[in-house]
Amino acid sequence: MKPYEQLNTPCFIFDEDELLGNIRAFRNSFEACWGQGGVIVGYSVKTTPIAGLISCAVNAGCYAEVVSDDEFALSLEAGCPVKDIVFNGPIKTKQWLDFAFDQGCIVNIDSKRELAWTIDYAKSHGSAPRVGLRINFDLEAAAPGQSMAEAEGVRFGFCFEDGSLAEAIAQLRAAGIEPAGLHAHFSTKDHLPETFAVIAQSVCEIKESFALNALDYVDMGGGYYGGGLRRSMYDDYARAITEQLVKAFDPDKVTLVVEPGGSVLCTPGFYLGRVIDTKTVRDKTFVVTELSKLNLNSTAFARRGFSYELLINEDRKILDNQILCGYTCIEMDRLCDLTQEPELQAGDLVLIRNAGAYTASFTPQFFIQAPPGVYLQKTDGTFEELVSHYHPVVPNLEGI
């Protein structure tokens, strides 16, 4: 049993070894298929926006991929060199966009106002900023059943089919700016390597259609699966993508950027909490814990199957069924059914696995319960508290 007894619960725990192992494997897979142009692995900050984890990733050679001014600031605070920021998303402000251009960050624009500000920047500085364009094409038509946006269509980027991309490129060129990069992040349902091949094919088609001959990077975004015992999947993505890209790009000249989130952050994360109480209602046993389904994020992001481990090191009666429940007053805050497991008691520790992606970033303050704290379990086995949220409330009648 790992020495979790010393930790304030509930909490998230990130295993540094596992995170670094995933990052290294991810980079190795892509580097093995690409050339001297190099591979940049951008840690997707939104997936787990915790300074201590961003620092780990940066120390392991990652860039920080950010989609807001706040994430940009957090990444700098975490020690990411400013030139190692990949600035994405449609909600950048002009101040941070200008700052990113000044600092030579990788900037992928994603909205009309950013296009206008990019052109303003070139005019006011008398020189063209280095800028990439996020692309949008009909992924559902090209890979039926795979786009998260389904037939309604993807909402990010400049659209190829409706002429918006052509218009954006024309406006940039008229201002003396030649695009330096293409950004192709798409959310897909099954995270299939074949879908990434389709996306890479479209990147090539777009490059050729607009004679984008000054591109120095292609950014294939995130959306991969794998990690932990399934690290070999990284190879499948790397092969699928690069086999297409080499048809239009020189791997010795062009940099390949990738932005893994869940695929590297899911397996290093654990969610730990204690049993508060147990009760039997008719023939069902309900186990109330400090955990909650809410802190495991039930949006479309939460794609990984969670699994649990009961940290009990004594003999107990085995029960056919116990229903593991959260602390909230939401009726269906039930995490899972425990079948043929030792009978849980107040104080027992329950560990949820695969809880590292889009969980700590989504914790609500629901039920006036502070979000769980966050620990890093370092390679030497010790724990570092990265986020402390454990503030037990004690009764205080003074002044009432």
Interface with ligand PLP includes 221 (CB under 6 A)? Answer: yes
Q: Between 40 and 128, name the residue whose CB sits nearer to ligand PLP.
A: 40
Percent helix, strand, coil in the chain (nearest 5)? 30, 25, 45
Interface with ligand PLP includes 363 (CB under 6 A)? Answer: no
Interface with ligand PLP includes 227 (CB under 6 A)? Answer: no
What phi, psi does 198 have (nearest 5°)? -65, -40
Q: Which of 48, 55, 88, 242 binds ligand PLP (CB under 6 A)?
A: 88
The CA distances from residue 292 to 244, 364, 366, in Å, are 43, 10, 10
Under DSSP, the state recorded for 268 is T
Q: Select from 19-27, 207-215, 219-227, 316-324 the region that touches ligand PLP (CB under 6 A).
A: 219-227
Token pair of 355, please?
Answer: 């809880």
Interface with ligand PLP includes 259 (CB under 6 A)? Answer: yes
User: Where in 52-71 is the site for ligand PLP (CB under 6 A)?
Assistant: 65
Q: Which of 9, 22, 29, 44 binds ligand PLP (CB under 6 A)?
A: 44
Q: Select from 6-14, 56-64, 254-262, 287-295 the region that touches ligand PLP (CB under 6 A).
A: 254-262
Q: Between 262 and 326, name the residue whose CB sits nearer to ligand PLP.
A: 262
Interface with ligand PLP includes 273 (CB under 6 A)? Answer: no
Picking from 187, 166, 167, 181, the residue whose alpha carbon sits closest to that of residue 216 is 181
Q: 113: exposed, middle or buried (C-beta count within 10 Å: 0-12, 13-18, 19+)?
A: middle
Min. distance of Cβ 79 from ligand PLP in angstroms? 21
Min. distance of Cβ 191 from ligand PLP in angstroms? 8
Q: Which of 130, 185, 293, 304 binds ligand PLP (CB under 6 A)?
A: 185
Q: What is the DSSP string of 283-344?
A: TEEEEEES--GGGG--STT--SPPEEEEE--S---EEEEEEEE-SSS-TT-EEEEEEEEEPP
Strands (E), the chain: 11-15, 39-44, 63-66, 85-87, 106-109, 132-136, 158-159, 181-183, 217-219, 255-258, 269-281, 284-289, 307-311, 318-325, 334-342, 349-353, 373-377, 383-387
Interface with ligand PLP includes 359 (CB under 6 A)? Answer: no
Min. distance of Cβ 221 from ligand PLP in angstroms? 5
User: Where in 6-35 is the site for ligand PLP (CB under 6 A)?
Assistant: none
Token pair of 126, please?
Answer: 């008398």
Name residue 183's beta-bridge partners. Answer: 134, 219
Min. distance of Cβ 222 from ligand PLP in angstroms? 3
Q: Between 9 and 187, name the residue whose CB sits nearer to ligand PLP.
A: 187
Strands (E), 67-197: 85-87, 106-109, 132-136, 158-159, 181-183
Q: Which residue is nearest to ligand PLP (CB)?
A: 261
Q: Which of 49, 179, 228, 262 binds ligand PLP (CB under 6 A)?
A: 262
Interface with ligand PLP includes 157 (CB under 6 A)? Answer: no
The C-alpha atoms of residue 133 and residue 210 are separated, in whole angstroms, by 13
Min. distance of Cβ 347 from ligand PLP in angstroms? 35
Q: Select from 257-265, 283-291, 304-312, 391-399 the region that touches ligand PLP (CB under 6 A).
A: 257-265
Which residues of the shown chain bind ligand PLP in the complex (CB under 6 A)? 44, 47, 65, 88, 185, 221-224, 259-263, 357
